[in-house]
Every structure is written in C-alpha cells, then in structure tokens.
C-alpha cells in the first residue's frame, strides 16, 4: 500500500464525500418531516358593501383571501376575525359568515334578491390547509358584525383601519395577518346595497415608493 499512496488518498476523499452526502440527506429528511410550518395569507381584494344601520348607511366587508401552508404537515385554520379600528380607538369586530360571490352581486344591481343569489353557503371554517399547498375559498368571505348590530357608519366612522386576524391549531392566540386602511374618500359615496372596492394599502405604499425613487 505504501507504493500507491494516491489510491489511499482517493479512497479516503470518496468515503468522506459519501458520508457527508448521507448526513445531508438525513438532515433534509428530518427537517422536512419535523419543521414547524405556518400559514401565510394573501388578501388581494377588500370591498365595502353598504347596509342599513338604524336608518344610516353602514358597511360590511367582502375579502378575497388565499392561505398558504409552507410546512410539511396539514394545519387547521380555526378562525378568522376582522377588526375595524376607528380614529377614537373604538373597535368593531366582524365575523366571516358567508361565502360571497362579489361578481354575481355586482352584476345583479337593481335586483331585490341579489344578496341571496350572491351567498354561496356558510364560511367553511375550520378548514384544513394541506401541507405545501395554497388554499382558495373560491369566493370572497363576507364579514358581518359580530354582535349582529354594530357596523361602521360611513358618515361618522371614517377613516378606519381594518385588521384581519387568524387562529390555527398551531397558535395560542389570534395573529394579525393583514391590515388595510380605508379613507373617507374611499367609501364616501357608498349607499345601502352598493359597494366600493378599496385599493390595497401595501400596493399603494409600494407604488409610491417606486414613484418617489424614480422622481429623484
């Protein structure tokens, strides 16, 4: 063996590389099997829908929400909750009640039964979000007043900040997952039975940042 040192050297390096590759494979398998996943949320559309609140125009909200599970195991989305935070600190809560076909609602303006036609069943919560998948509710979720009476009033309660909270079987408490600012200008023309789409706060901020950068 002393006459062929290059053979011993080559054999040692190949063995080391093989062991390292095996350890890396075992680590990847362990990480994939046991890593703690979490849910990510994309709220791509925020729409205010006008309702009657004691003779005045109030608002409920239809949200288009997608949920992404980046973990290796299924996660149960237990609940969603929408908070409307007013300028004076008042907090009004909304529950996800119905699946809501906003396209049908918009196309049925003038029809007395358009709300009934637009409802596509109760909100499917809890919902199991498969590992490594994106979950789509299929329609907007219509958030209605938690106490069945109190909703923001257009004439007095804007501007308002909307905060979307989620709860899963991995969470101890509700987690803030999305925020949307609604100005008076956004919904000042909202009427009972009408609707008003609101531009995404994050999108507006990113656009303004780009425009300001280009303008310099």
pLDDT of residue 7: 46
What pLDDT band is residue 1 in, cutting at 50, 70 and 90?
A: very low
Whether 118 contacts 97, CB under 8 Å: no
Buried b (16+ CB within 10 A) or exposed e, 22-46: eeeeeeeeeeeeeeebebebebeeb
Report d(CA 17, CA 10) in Å as an integer: 11
Which of 85-89, 115-119, 125-129, 144-148 comes out lowest in average pLDDT?
A: 115-119
pTM: 0.78
Residue 174's CB: how many other CB atoms inside 10 A? 17
In the predicted model, is pLDDT for residue 107 greater than 80?
yes
Q: Who's near 147: CB < 8 A, 6+ residues apart? A: 93
Whether 74 contacts 129, CB under 8 Å: yes
pLDDT of residue 143: 97
How does DSSP assign 129-153, residue by residue?
Answer: E-TT-EEE-SSEEEEEETTSS--EE
Q: Which tokens hold the place of 131?
A: 């590992």
For the chain, the straight-line distance linking the first and the last C-alpha, in angstroms and rounded, comes to 71
Report d(CA 102, CA 61) in Å as an integer: 11
With the CA atoms of 60, 200, 84 and 143 taken in that order, what torsion angle do they form, in degrees rounded to the nearest 10?
30
Q: What are phi and psi of 17, to 5 degrees?
A: -65, -40
pLDDT of residue 148: 82
Residue 151's CB: how many other CB atoms inside 10 A? 26
Q: Are strands 56-69 and 127-129 parallel, antiparallel or unpaired?
A: unpaired
Report d(CA 14, CA 59) in Å as an integer: 69
Report d(CA 173, CA 166) in Å as an integer: 9
In the predicted model, is pLDDT for residue 8 greater than 60?
no
* Burial class of residue 4 in the structure, from the number of CB atoms within 10 Å of its CB (0-12 exposed, 13-18 middle, 19+ buried): exposed
pLDDT of residue 95: 97
pLDDT digits (tens, 9 = 90+) for 76-106: 999 999 999 999 999 999 999 999 999 999 8
Q: Which tokens hold the place of 208?
A: 């303004």
Could you tell me which residue, 212 or 141, shows the higher pLDDT?
141
Report d(CA 208, CA 163) in Å as an integer: 22
Could you tell me which residue, 24 or 183, shows the higher pLDDT?
183
């Amino acid at each position: 063996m002393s006459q062929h040192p290059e053979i011993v050297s080559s054999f040692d390096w190949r063995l080391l590389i093989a062991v390292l590759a095996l350890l890396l494979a075992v680590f990847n398998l362990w990480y994939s099997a046991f890593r703690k996943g979490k849910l990510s949320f994309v709220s791509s559309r925020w729409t205010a829908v006008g309702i009657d609140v004691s003779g005045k125009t109030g608002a409920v909200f239809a949200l288009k929400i997608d949920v992404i599970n980046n973990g290796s195991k299924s996660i149960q989305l237990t609940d969603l909750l929408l908070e409307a935070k007013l300028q004076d600190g008042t907090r009004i809560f909304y529950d996800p009640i119905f699946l809501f076909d906003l396209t049908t609602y918009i196309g049925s303006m003038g029809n007395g039964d358009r709300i009934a036609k637009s409802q596509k069943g109760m909100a499917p919560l809890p919902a199991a979000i498969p590992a490594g998948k994106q979950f789509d509710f299929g329609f907007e979720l219509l958030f209605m007043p938690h106490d069945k009476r109190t909703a923001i009033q257009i004439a007095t309660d804007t501007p308002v900040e909307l905060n979307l909270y989620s709860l899963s079987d991995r969470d101890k408490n509700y987690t803030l997952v999305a925020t949307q600012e609604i100005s008076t200008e956004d919904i000042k023309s909202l009427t009972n039975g009408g609707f008003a789409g609101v531009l995404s706060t994050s999108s507006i901020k990113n656009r303004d940042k780009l425009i300001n950068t280009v303008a310099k």
